[in-house]
Structure 1
Amino acid sequence: MHVAVLLLAIALVIVVAALAALGAGKLARMDGVSYPTALTRAAVTFAAVITLACTGAGALRAFLD
């Protein structure tokens, strides 16, 4: 049961990170930047969301043990 919850949580984080990256890239393109710059901003946003989720999970782990 724990493995299923973990896999669903990971999938949810990846979907949220992808949506945030998509939004960041779209907003960058609407701002008038080039495609490589918009892709870079989207990649940075994706990495930031993944990093934030890992940091939050690490902080919560201390309370759940």
Structure 2
Amino acid sequence: MSDRTAVIMLACAMTVLVAVLVGGAAGYLARRDHATYSTAVTRAALAFAATLTLAATVTSALANTFS
């Protein structure tokens, strides 16, 4: 495995980890706001998806800028 591949895999893992943490925090805050479990899971899933979408958009913009 080359160094470039290792860095790309590490960046992907870190992005997914951050998205999971954001989703968990959103679900926790929803439950603290007395939301039902299904509403809290929905908010967590939306936050997770939004974080991954934002990361993909920023990555694409940076890739187009530097190439």
* TM-score, structure 2 normalization: 0.94
Question: How far did residue 14 of structure 1 move?
Answer: 0.4
Counterpart check, 1:35 vs 2:14: no
Q: Which runs of 5+ in 1 are unaligned?
A: none
Runs of 4+ off more than 6 Å? none
Alpha-carbon deviations, 1:5-48, whole Å to 9, x = none?
Answer: 00000000000000000000000000001000000000000000
Q: Which runs of 5+ in 2 are unaligned?
A: none
Question: How far did residue 62 of structure 1 move?
Answer: 1.3
19, 24, 44: which one pairs with 2:46? Answer: 44
Aligned length: 65
